[in-house]
């Protein structure tokens, strides 16, 4: 039977509960346990697909086509496993399922209530995540005391009686703020948030305390005393130079050992963290540096392109180069021109996006990269704008002069197919989730992957119009990857360019720090080469 670790948060949001949960996942997996991680999100949306990146950051897409909370991205990157729709439970999902059951007559004669129906439904999902696993780590979104989180807290409280107290562990992530006026760290918010947990019957065994400064022993003892945990169960979580250092820091403080003790589990082995140490060492002291322009329209939100920026960092670590990201608003390019905004970078990346705002700026970025032989990587919308740009300026296709790729898609080169039967049973109107793609031998994509058939995740409505393929190819654009079943072009390249690629899918979702994505490695590799060539030119 699986054991369960619940990660809750107090005082403020954005404390890094997700990173804490994911780091614990790494440590337990490296010890030889079969681990699953789930996120319990108290919001009413059924999934994150309908949420604006401005508010909630990126939507992370899983292999099975679920549009999930970005924390699932952290989980996948850390524990190096593909997760599914079941790993993200939301209030919306829980209520729709309970209401469906009620309509079906499953509770006939009974009054359907938050306790036990909603709380049972939550527990069923947590238990399901434990099938064929040793440990389930469940992170509860929001902070303790939030009205919408209450059913989740009640459900995890009940889990202790349901599966046995020795099979559950509660870990609370809190903030220990620095008060400048008093010139000291303050433990009272932590005490209050633990009191709030205790009020609802949850006794946390481990405290993870986020703090800007070291927590002295006296502070630690005080929190231990008031929060009823042992002093060594007060873990200090300082700001780190990279999130990938968190598993190492938590391991140093024996976080995983504390969890195992709370769960009465014996570890099969000590974790070997050499690969993570290497990632951190390289990240902190790289030999080179490249600057990459990320041309988007949600650039003000630091998490809107989270998986993309992480994938760039992973590739930088692989090439031993710091990746400096220049966030560029595509509308800025429209206003000031591509050269003014983009000059000096060694790579241009246009990520996915929706809506027509900023499209012209992205097209201009693709053109600037093509004409100036700057490495270009277009992801989904970034591929579509690259194709429109090429059709417009190289092929002179009259139909390609519209910027309205989305919505309404009046550019016929990228179109909405009449019969989008490839948008299978996965629901909605988008092509979502993993689809196979056959690579064309001799292309840069085939060389980067070193494979003939790959599988990547999608999230889009529009496709490259096959009627225009011949014209594009005649003028020098290569189709490097195809979804055979529906004969859809998935990758475009320019062979006479150092590195120019657009992909209809989202490779960023599969990149991991210890397994960087081949295409991101190819892109950053080309950027490194460009910066070396430039440096040589300047030197002599
Ligand atoms: N809006 C475009 C489409 O629906 C691109 C989507 C994306 O970049 N994820 O096809």
CB 44 within 8 A of CB 207: no
Q: What is the pTM of this model?
A: 0.93
Question: What's the pLDDT at 400?
Answer: 56
Q: What is the DSSP code (8-state) at residue 396?
A: -
Tokens 């309908």 belong to 50
Containing 530, the helix (H) or strand (E) segment is: helix 518-539
Question: Which residue among 417, 428, 461 is best mutated to probe the pocket of ligand 1, counting the most ligand atoms within 8 A of its Cβ?
Answer: 461
Question: Which residue among 380, 415, 464 is best mutated to probe the pocket of ligand 1, counting the most ligand atoms within 8 A of its Cβ?
Answer: 380
CA of 420 to the centre of ligand 1 (A): 15
- Helix 17-30, helix 255-262: angle, nearest 10: 80
Q: Which atom in ligand 1 lies closest to the alpha carbon of residue 463?
A: 10
CA of 35 to the centre of ligand 1 (A): 33
Residue nearest to atom 9 of ligand 1 (CA): 352
Of the candidates 509, 507, 390, 407, the one whose C-alpha atom is nearest the C-alpha of residue 462 is: 407
Q: Which atom in ligand 1 lies closest to the alpha carbon of residue 354?
A: 1
More reliable by pLDDT, 139 or 51 = 139
Kindly write down the DSSP assignment for every residue of 139-195, as one continuous string: EEPS-TT-GGGHHHHHHHHHHHHHH-GGGEEEEEEEE--EETTTTEE--HHHHHHHH
Q: Which atom in ligand 1 lies closest to the alpha carbon of residue 506?
A: 9
Question: Which residue among 383, 431, 433, 462 is best mutated to probe the pocket of ligand 1, counting the most ligand atoms within 8 A of its Cβ?
Answer: 462
Q: Which atom in ligand 1 lies closest to the alpha carbon of residue 407?
A: 1
For residue 413, pLDDT beyond 80: yes
CA of 379 to the centre of ligand 1 (A): 9
Taking the C-alpha atoms of residue 251 and residue 272, their distance in angstroms, rounded to an integer, is 11
CB 215 within 8 A of CB 232: no
CA of 318 to the centre of ligand 1 (A): 29
Kindly report the length of the chain. Answer: 540
Taking the C-alpha atoms of residue 454 and residue 312, their distance in angstroms, rounded to an integer, is 20
For residue 421, pLDDT beyond 70: no
Q: How far is CA 27 from CA 243, 267, 270, 336, in A?
A: 14, 11, 9, 48
Mean pLDDT value of segment 452-458: 97
CA of 354 to the centre of ligand 1 (A): 5
Taking the C-alpha atoms of residue 417 and residue 17, their distance in angstroms, rounded to an integer, is 42
HEC sequence for 42-106: CCCCCCHHHCCHHHHCCCEECCCCCEECCHHHHHHHHHCCCCCHHHEEEHHHHHHHHHHHHHHCC
Mean pLDDT value of segment 196-205: 96
CA of 417 to the centre of ligand 1 (A): 14
| pLDDT, tens digit, 9 for 90 and up, residues 300-333 | 787 899 999 999 999 999 999 999 999 999 999 9
Residue nearest to atom 8 of ligand 1 (CA): 352
pLDDT band at residue 398 under the 50/70/90 scheme: low
**Which of 281-285, 404-408, 470-474 is predicted with the least confidence, judged by mean pLDDT?**
404-408
Taking the C-alpha atoms of residue 85 and residue 68, their distance in angstroms, rounded to an integer, is 7
Coil, helix or strand at residue 434: strand
Kindly write down the DSSP assignment for every residue of 280-331, as one continuous string: HHHHHS-SEEEEEEEEES-TTSTTTTHHHHHHHHHHHHHHTEEEEEEEEEHH
Question: Which residue among 52, 298, 406 is best mutated to probe the pocket of ligand 1, counting the most ligand atoms within 8 A of its Cβ?
Answer: 406
Q: Which residues' Cβ are closer than 6 Å to ligand 1?
A: 352-354, 380-381, 406, 459-462
CA atoms within 13 A on the CB side of 520: 30
pLDDT band at residue 355 under the 50/70/90 scheme: confident
Q: Which residues are catalytic?
A: 380, 506, 508
Question: What's the pLDDT at 207?
Answer: 97
Q: What is the DSSP code (8-state) at residue 354?
A: -
**Which of 140-154, 201-215, 411-425 is predicted with the least confidence, judged by mean pLDDT?**
411-425
Of the candidates 233, 17, 301, the one whose C-alpha atom is nearest the C-alpha of residue 139 is: 17
Mean pLDDT value of segment 372-381: 97
Q: Quick count: other Cβ atoms within 10 Å of Cβ 323?
A: 26
CA of 147 to the centre of ligand 1 (A): 35
Output the CA torsion sign for 207, 208, 211, 214. Answer: positive
Highest mean pLDDT among 48-57, 86-95, 409-418: 86-95
Q: Which atom in ligand 1 lies closest to the alpha carbon of residue 430?
A: 4
On the 0-12 / 13-18 / 19+ scale of CB atoms within 10 A, 100 is exposed
Taking the C-alpha atoms of residue 135 and residue 319, their distance in angstroms, rounded to an integer, is 35
């Amino acid at each position: 039977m699986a054991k369960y670790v619940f990660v809750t948060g107090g005082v403020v949001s954005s404390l890094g509960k997700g990173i804490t949960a994911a780091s614990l996942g790494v440590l337990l997996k490296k010890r030889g346990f079969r681990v699953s991680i789930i996120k319990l999100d108290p919001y009413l949306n059924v999934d994150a697909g309908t949420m604006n990146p401005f508010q909630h950051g990126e939507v992370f897409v899983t292999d099975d086509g679920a549009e999930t909370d970005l924390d699932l991205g952290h989980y996948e990157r850390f524990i190096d496993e593909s997760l599914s729709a079941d790993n993200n439970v939301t209030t919306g999902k829980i209520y729709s399922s309970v209401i469906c059951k009620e309509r079906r007559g499953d509770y006939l004669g009974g009054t359907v209530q938050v306790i036990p129906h909603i709380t049972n439904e939550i527990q069923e999902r947590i238990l399901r995540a434990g099938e064929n696993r040793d440990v389930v780590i469940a992170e509860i979104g929001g902070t303790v005391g939030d009205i919408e989180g209450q059913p989740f807290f009640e459900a995890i409280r009940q889990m202790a009686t349901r599966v046995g107290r020795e099979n559950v562990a509660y870990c609370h992530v809190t903030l220990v703020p620095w008060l400048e006026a008093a010139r000291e760290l303050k433990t009272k918010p932590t005490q209050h948030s633990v009191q709030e947990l205790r009020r609802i019957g949850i006794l946390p065994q481990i405290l993870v305390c986020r703090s800007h400064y070291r927590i002295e022993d006296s502070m630690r003892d005080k929190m231990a005393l008031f929060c009823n945990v042992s002093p060594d169960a007060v873990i200090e979580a300082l700001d780190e130079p990279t999130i990938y250092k968190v598993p190492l820091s938590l391991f140093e403080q024996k976080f995983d050992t504390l969890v195992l003790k709370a769960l009465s589990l014996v570890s099969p082995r000590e974790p070997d963290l050499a690969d993570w140490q290497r990632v951190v060492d390289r990240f902190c002291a790289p030999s080179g540096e490249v600057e990459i322009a990320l041309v988007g329209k949600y650039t003000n939100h630091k998490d809107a392109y989270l998986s993309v920026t992480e994938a760039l960092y992973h590739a930088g670590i692989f090439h031993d180069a710091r990746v400096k990201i220049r966030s560029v608003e595509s509308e800025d390019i429209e206003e000031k021109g591509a050269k003014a905004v983009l000059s000096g970078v060694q790579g241009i990346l246009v990520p996915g996006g929706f809506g027509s705002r900023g499209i012209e700026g992205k097209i201009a970025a693709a053109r600037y990269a093509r004409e100036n032989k700057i490495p270009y990587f277009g992801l989904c919308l970034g591929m579509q704008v690259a194709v429109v740009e090429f059709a417009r300026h190289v092929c002179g296709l009259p139909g390609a002069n519209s910027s309205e790729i989305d919505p309404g898609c009046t550019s016929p080169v990228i179109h909405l197919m009449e019969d989008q039967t490839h948008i299978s049973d996965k629901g909605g109107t988008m092509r979502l989730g993993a689809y196979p793609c056959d690579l064309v031998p001799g292309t840069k994509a085939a060389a980067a992957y070193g494979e003939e058939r790959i599988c990547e995740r999608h999230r889009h409505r529009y496709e490259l119009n096959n009627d225009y393929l011949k014209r594009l190819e005649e003028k020098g654009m290569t189709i490097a990857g195809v979804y055979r079943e529906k004969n859809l072009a998935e990758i475009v390249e320019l062979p006479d360019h150092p590195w120019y690629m657009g992909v209809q899918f989202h490779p960023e979702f599969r990149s991991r720090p210890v397994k960087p994505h081949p295409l991101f490695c190819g892109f950053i590799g080309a950027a490194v080469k460009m910066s070396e060539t430039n440096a040589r030119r300047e030197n002599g």
